[in-house]
């Protein structure tokens, strides 16, 4: 029996893969998706049980393969067929230990973001923030003499943003989102009304009224959310579980499993799970002819089967670290000596994230955090401005989960109060040379109530500049299938560091304006995710976190010697190969990247359908 030749073979069942598969299938095309990880469960019960019972509740907790035991003991990534990074391997003690860290981190700084390898992709644990990029985000070189321009502008993407907002189901208000040059078609309305602001948002808004940074007045604005404010796509309304990351228990937050299931309902799509693509084969004419894969039954079991998938068009949508890894692995007996699609030499380079500055404080009066979606509003005016000539821009995300992200509360403060400790900073000794007090009864309840209800955190998502030295290469260390694991080199440019330093100054100013007492702690000297800086003559240490906004590693451009794909995400080297996702971003801007990568995916699907698949 001859092997099936699919119209399109898609590698990866995440945001991009799902969006493209559905569009092609709706047009009657026969699509095969190859997904490295486990299938989409019929409900989230197993994910929730794993989340509830884990003492370490991090973005990776609900998903498979399990990377750590319930108490947090890490699995050796060499024993897993589809391993992935975890934030639990970012400590000084383990970030460069290949038995604990899936990524082989070669420094000098730690790459602090993670991703999933599972049906639905990293979109399983996304927050839901659905920002459009700003017009100037697409032209920072021509506007500010910094970084690079995109080969397309805001107006090119605008119609695709509206389609992506419909596919995801975004709740927002057009008037409120019309700022810094963003425009909408006449009469446009988001699919759903905005998510109401939290009490935390309202307190910050009241406190910063009249405040300006670099002469730019600040305001609090509701965040466009891929989260239902009314029933949508057969999914329920948000119940404010305060758990968007790692998982919404009622799927009021969109995730790509929704689109995968809709694609499957066409009857035109087949998904093969537990299927790791290991090679991209290019024929003598430069076209991709097939991909080879390995299948497994158990996450740490032996290979069960190998195979090959044939297609007319191939879409690599395996994530901004796994896609370039696969391209670099595919040498075609020397015909693609630097990897598939890599005549520019840019594959794997320009790795970017939003290095995140986190600051936390205790407000003078209750704000009642730990209620509502994780974040409902932000301060967006500093996403663009003339300051971008000198330093990176940022947006400010207001958190609704108290000090959960910064210190792991409410657990840490509870332990402090009950056991007479002071890791939180909220339970200092009452007198010199004494231990922190241990509380019980009404005193305990009232102290917990007083402190937890006043917790506030702000996260600053800083635009990282693209640099070739920040890159994904192939490690000699392998996974359980013998496939190389990603090796990462990562650093921050001075431009980016200056953005983080500016973020710290703004955090200090906002908390001062709120009359909030700041508790942000300085990182340890051996923390691999920090850098020293001098601010106002003082030596400080700036800690950054990962945002999970991994982009840049197969950048799009208008010059095939300097980019991997064109603006349609088509490989310059192989006409029937598309490489999609955040990896195509030439710059990371300041908006959370998902809506933009979804818009790009829909635009790519349209281009595929308009082209002769066999040509």
Partner 1 sequence: MADMDTFVAISAALTGIDPGKLAPGVDPIKVSAEYFQKASTEAPDVFKRVLSIASATPPPANLADALLNGSGDDVRFLCRSIMLMWFLGSWFNPNDLKLYASAIPPAAPISSSVVSSKAYTQGWVWAAAQAHPMGYSTLRFGYWNQPPVALNDFIGA
Q: Residues with Cβ < 8 Å from 360, sequence gap 6 or more?
A: 403, 406, 407, 455, 456, 457, 458, 518, 519, 520
Q: Residues with Cβ < 8 Å from 217, sequence gap 6 or more?
A: 210, 211, 381
**Of these, 16, 81, 89, 243, which contacts partner 1 (CB under 8 A)?**
243
177-216: which residues touch partner 1 (CB under 8 A)? Answer: 196-199
- State in angstroms the smallest separation of the CB of 412 from partner 1: 9
CA distance 113 to 320: 11
- In angstroms, the first-to-last Cα distance of the chain is 25
- Give 223 or 604: the residue with its C-beta nearer to partner 1: 223
Two structure tokens written together for 332: 């075609």
Two structure tokens written together for 513: 């304006």
- Give 113 or 222: the residue with its C-beta nearer to partner 1: 222
- State in angstroms the smallest separation of the CB of 359 from partner 1: 20
- State in angstroms the smallest separation of the CB of 76 from partner 1: 20
Query: Mapping DSSP to helix (H, G, I), strand (E, B) and coil, where does residue 164 land?
Result: helix
590 binds partner 1 (CB under 8 A): no
- In whole angstroms, how far apart are CA 502 and each of 58, 217, 393, 544? 28, 16, 9, 13
247 binds partner 1 (CB under 8 A): yes
- Give 371 or 562: the residue with its C-beta nearer to partner 1: 371
Point out which span in 21-29, 133-141, 242-250, 263-271 binds partner 1 (CB under 8 A).
Answer: 242-250
49 binds partner 1 (CB under 8 A): yes
398 binds partner 1 (CB under 8 A): no
- State in angstroms the smallest separation of the CB of 249 from partner 1: 6
- State in angstroms the smallest separation of the CB of 349 from partner 1: 36
Sign of CA dihedral 74, 484, 301, 78: negative
Q: Residues with Cβ < 8 Å from 31, sequence gap 6 or more?
A: 6, 7, 8, 9, 10, 21, 24, 25, 263, 268, 269, 270
Placement of tokens 């359980």 in the chain: 480
- Give 239 or 512: the residue with its C-beta nearer to partner 1: 239
CA distance 330 to 239: 46
- Give 400 or 475: the residue with its C-beta nearer to partner 1: 400
CA distance 528 to 111: 9
- At how many degrees (to 10) do helices 154-168 and 15-26 cross? 90
Q: Is 343 exposed, middle or buried (0-12, 13-18, 19+ CB in 10 A)?
A: middle
- State in angstroms the smallest separation of the CB of 370 from partner 1: 4
416-455: which residues touch partner 1 (CB under 8 A)? Answer: 418-421, 435, 438, 440-446, 448-449, 452-453
- In whole angstroms, how far apart are CA 200 and each of 161, 227, 288, 586? 29, 19, 52, 35
Point out which span in 124-132, 143-151, 412-420, 512-520 binds partner 1 (CB under 8 A).
Answer: 412-420
404 binds partner 1 (CB under 8 A): yes
64-93: which residues touch partner 1 (CB under 8 A)? Answer: 70-72
| Residues that contact partner 1, how many (by CB under 8 A) | 57
239 binds partner 1 (CB under 8 A): yes
- Give 425 or 581: the residue with its C-beta nearer to partner 1: 425
- Give 183 or 414: the residue with its C-beta nearer to partner 1: 414
- State in angstroms the smallest separation of the CB of 421 from partner 1: 6
- Per-residue contact string for residues 354-383; x = within reach of partner 1 by CB under 8 A: --------------xxxxxx--x-------
**Of these, 415, 540, 607, 613, which contacts partner 1 (CB under 8 A)?**
415
CA distance 372 to 142: 41
- In whole angstroms, how far apart are CA 101 and each of 114, 257, 272, 485? 11, 27, 27, 10
511 binds partner 1 (CB under 8 A): no
Cross-strand partners of 303 = 296
CA distance 101 to 486: 11
CA distance 319 to 340: 16
405 binds partner 1 (CB under 8 A): no
DSSP per-residue letters across 323-368: HHHHHHH--GGGTSTT-TT-TTS-TT-S-B---EEEEEEE-SS---
- Give 27 or 199: the residue with its C-beta nearer to partner 1: 199
Within 10 A of 538 (CB to CB), how many other CB atoms are there? 7
* Beta-sheet pairing, 377-379 with 221-222: antiparallel
Point out which span in 324-332, 394-402, 476-484, 559-567 binds partner 1 (CB under 8 A).
Answer: 394-402
**Of these, 23, 64, 242, 377, which contacts partner 1 (CB under 8 A)?**
242
- Give 308 or 446: the residue with its C-beta nearer to partner 1: 446
- Give 369 or 583: the residue with its C-beta nearer to partner 1: 369
Q: Is 82 exposed, middle or buried (0-12, 13-18, 19+ CB in 10 A)?
A: buried
613 binds partner 1 (CB under 8 A): no
411 binds partner 1 (CB under 8 A): yes
Q: Residues with Cβ < 8 Å from 532, sequence gap 6 or more?
A: 539, 540, 541, 542
**Of these, 353, 401, 463, 479, which contacts partner 1 (CB under 8 A)?**
401
- Give 49 or 265: the residue with its C-beta nearer to partner 1: 49
**Of these, 219, 295, 414, 518, which contacts partner 1 (CB under 8 A)?**
414
**Of these, 237, 310, 533, 540, which contacts partner 1 (CB under 8 A)?**
237
- State in angstroms the smallest separation of the CB of 198 from partner 1: 5
CA distance 161 to 595: 7
- At how many degrees (to 10) do helices 594-610 and 154-168 cross? 100
With contact defined as beta carbons under 8 Å apart, do 231 and 252 qualify? no
- Per-residue contact string for residues 89-128; x = within reach of partner 1 by CB under 8 A: ----------------------------------------
- Give 100 or 198: the residue with its C-beta nearer to partner 1: 198
**Of these, 4, 53, 142, 494, which contacts partner 1 (CB under 8 A)?**
53
With contact defined as beta carbons under 8 Å apart, do 309 and 32 qualify? yes
- State in angstroms the smallest separation of the CB of 407 from partner 1: 11
- Give 254 or 394: the residue with its C-beta nearer to partner 1: 254
Enumerate binding residues for partner 1 (CB under 8 A). 48-49, 51-55, 57, 70-72, 196-199, 229, 237-243, 247, 249, 368-373, 376, 400-402, 404, 410-411, 414-415, 418-421, 435, 438, 440-446, 448-449, 452-453
């Amino acid at each position: 029996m001859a092997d099936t030749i699919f119209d399109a073979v898609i590698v990866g069942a995440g945001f991009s893969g799902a969006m493209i598969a559905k569009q092609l299938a709706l047009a009657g095309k026969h699509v095969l998706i190859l997904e490295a990880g486990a299938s989409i469960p019929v409900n989230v019960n197993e994910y929730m049980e794993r989340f509830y019972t884990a003492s370490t509740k991090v973005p990776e907790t609900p998903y498979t393969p399990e990377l750590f035991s319930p108490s947090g003991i890490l699995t050796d990534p060499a024993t897993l067929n589809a391993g992935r990074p975890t934030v639990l391997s970012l400590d000084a003690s383990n970030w460069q230990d290949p038995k604990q860290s899936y990524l082989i981190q070669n420094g000098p700084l730690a790459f602090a973001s993670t991703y999933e390898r599972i049906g639905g992709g990293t979109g399983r644990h996304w927050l839901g923030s659905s920002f459009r990029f700003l017009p100037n985000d697409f032209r920072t070189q021509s506007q500010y003499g910094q970084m690079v321009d995109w080969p397309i502008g805001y107006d090119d993407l605008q119609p695709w943003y509206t389609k992506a907002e419909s596919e995801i189901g975004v709740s927002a208000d057009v008037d409120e989102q019309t700022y810094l040059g963003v425009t909408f078609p006449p009469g446009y309305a988001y699919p759903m009304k905005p998510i109401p602001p939290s009490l935390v948002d309202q307190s910050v808004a009241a406190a910063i009224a009249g405040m300006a940074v670099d002469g730019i007045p600040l305001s609090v604005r509701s965040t466009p959310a891929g989260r239902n404010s009314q029933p949508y796509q057969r999914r329920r309304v948000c119940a404010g579980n305060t758990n968007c990351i790692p998982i919404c228990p009622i799927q009021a937050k969109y995730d790509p499993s929704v689109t995968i299931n809709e694609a499957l309902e066409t009857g035109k799509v087949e998904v093969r799970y537990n299927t790791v693509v290991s090679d991209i084969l290019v024929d003598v004419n430069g076209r991709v002819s097939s991909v080879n894969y390995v299948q497994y039954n158990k996450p740490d079991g032996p290979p069960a089967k190998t195979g090959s998938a044939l297609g007319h068009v191939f879409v690599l949508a395996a994530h901004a670290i796994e896609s370039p890894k696969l391209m670099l692995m595919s040498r075609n007996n020397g015909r693609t000596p630097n990897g598939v699609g890599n005549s520019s030499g840019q594959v794997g380079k320009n790795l970017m994230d939003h290095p995140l500055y986190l600051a936390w404080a205790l407000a003078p009066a209750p704000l009642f955090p730990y209620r509502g979606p994780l974040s409902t509003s932000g301060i967006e005016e500093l996403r663009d401005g003339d300051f971008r000539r000198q330093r990176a821009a940022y947006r400010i995300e207001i958190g609704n989960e108290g000090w959960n992200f910064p210190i792991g509360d409410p657990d840490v403060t509870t332990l402090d109060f009950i056991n007479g400790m002071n890791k939180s900073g909220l339970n200092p000794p009452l007198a010199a040379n004494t231990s922190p007090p241990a509380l019980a009864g009404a005193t305990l309840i009232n102290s917990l109530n007083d402190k937890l209800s006043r917790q506030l955190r702000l996260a600053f998502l800083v635009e990282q500049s693209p640099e070739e030295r920040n890159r994904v290469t192939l490690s000699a260390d392998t996974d359980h299938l013998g496939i190389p694991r990603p090796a990462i080199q990562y650093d921050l440019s001075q431009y980016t560091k200056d953005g983080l330093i500016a973020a710290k100054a703004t955090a200090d100013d906002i908390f001062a304006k709120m009359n909030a007492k700041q508790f942000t702690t300085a990182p340890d000297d051996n923390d691999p995710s920090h850098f020293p800086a001098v601010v106002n003559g003082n030596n400080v240490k700036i800690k950054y976190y990962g945002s999970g906004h991994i982009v840049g590693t197969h950048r799009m451009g208008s010059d095939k010697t300097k980019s991997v794909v064109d603006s349609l995400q088509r490989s310059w080297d192989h006409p029937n190969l598309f490489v999609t996702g955040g990896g195509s971003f030439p710059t990371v801007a300041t908006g959370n990247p998902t809506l933009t990568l979804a818009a790009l995916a829909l635009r790519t699907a349209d281009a595929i359908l308009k082209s002769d698949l066999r040509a």
